[in-house]
Amino acid sequence: DAEITQSPRHKITETGRQVTLACHQTWNHNNMFWYRQDLGHGLRLIHYSYGVQDTNKGEVSDGYSVSRSNTEDLPLTLESAASSQTSVYFCASSVGQGGEQFFGPGTRLTVL
Amino acid sequence: GEDVEQSLFLSVREGDSSVINCTYTDSSSTYLYWYKQEPGAGLQLLTYIFSNMDMKQDQRLTVLLNKKDKHLSLRIADTQTGDSAIYFCAETAYNAGNMLTFGGGTRLMVKP
């Protein structure tokens, strides 16, 4: 069955370290998204991509970067992790306009 | 930017109906969604409604849309303990490239 996976599921890191969170989908969806979920804020969009080599900044992109070298993967990199980036991160994918976004299981990141 | 608001918490008794409300500000919203998030999991699409509809029913779920007041509601009939979760309202406009704006989520607690 097609699916969307995230790894790792849990990560603890130290301030200043570079961290990469993986997202992989097997639906061949063009659209991929990264969100962070924090209490009181719901889900906020970090970066998104509409296809290979396409990346765009979302609402809360500072301190994060993404790259899209193939259809299946959109890794999210924290260049220099900060405690404010402690959060639960969700990846999602969709096809076309208005299409349902399918979410991964999430990665819980703690920055000490 | 555009805003989506939800109340934080709702508690109901098993067998009662639950009504979760959402307001949004984007007058160009085209698609409105309800997502469910169970503990430790990603978001799952429950139902959606196009902006040219007033109501949509799907088994125990009824979605009502009042475009004039920019108000969306989700009614769950015969609420069960398995319905306990966080429910997110989200919206997107046709020209928004499938980017979703989420509300902060409503935590539904169902008491036996």
Question: What pLDDT, in 10s, does the model give residues A82-91?
Answer: 999 999 999 9
Question: What pLDDT, in 10s, does the model give residues B56-90?
Answer: 999 999 999 999 999 999 999 999 999 999 999 99
Put simply, the answer to whether B41 touches A106 (Cβ < 8 Å) is yes
Q: Which pLDDT band holds residue A107 (cuts at 50, 70, 90)?
A: very high
Cβ–Cβ < 8 Å for B64, B73: yes
| Mean pLDDT, rounded, of chain B | 91
Residue matched to tokens 């509300």? B103
User: Nearest Cβ partner of B92 from A41, A92, A98?
Assistant: A98
> Which of B20, B43, B45, B87 is the mutation pick for testing A, counting most A CBs within 10 A?
B43
**Token couple for B27:** 């007058």
pLDDT computed for residue B30 by the predictor: 81
> What is the four-CA torsion angle of A79, A69, B93, B5, rounded to 10 degrees?
-30
Report yes or no: B52 at the A interface, CB cutoff 8 Å.
Answer: no
Interface residue ranges in chain A relative to chain B, Cβ cutoff 8 Å = 31, 33, 35, 40-45, 48, 50, 58-59, 90, 92, 94, 96-106
Residue B26: phi, psi to the nearest 5? -75, 110
The dihedral of CA A41, A10, B91, B48: what is its sign? Answer: negative
